[in-house]
């Protein structure tokens, strides 16, 4: 990757960080007040794990 491409990628990353940064604090405050929904987190993770296990067993 050329030098100018690295500089452009770094500049884009900084712009994205500065664009997202103002919303982080309100989002964290809102997350503290929200009810905890572990089932909504664990079901998709279990699905991904089962899918990966299916892929591993189907290759062998």
13-to-6, 7, 41, 48, 50 alpha-carbon distances in Å: 11, 10, 28, 29, 34
CA distance 52 to 45: 11
pLDDT digits (tens, 9 = 90+) for 6-45: 999 999 999 999 998 888 889 888 988 888 888 888 999 9
Select the more confidently predicted residue: 28 or 49: 49
- Structural domain tally of the chain? 1
pLDDT on residue 36:
84
CA distance 16 to 24: 13
pLDDT on residue 55:
94
pLDDT on residue 47:
96
Domain that holds residue 53: 3-59
């Amino acid at each position: 990757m050329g030098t100018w491409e690295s500089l452009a990628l770094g500049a884009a990353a900084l712009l994205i960080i500065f664009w997202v940064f103002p919303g982080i604090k309100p989002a964290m405050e809102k997350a503290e007040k929200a009810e905890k929904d572990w089932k909504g987190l664990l079901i998709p993770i279990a699905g991904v794990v089962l899918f990966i296990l299916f892929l591993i067993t189907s290759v062998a």
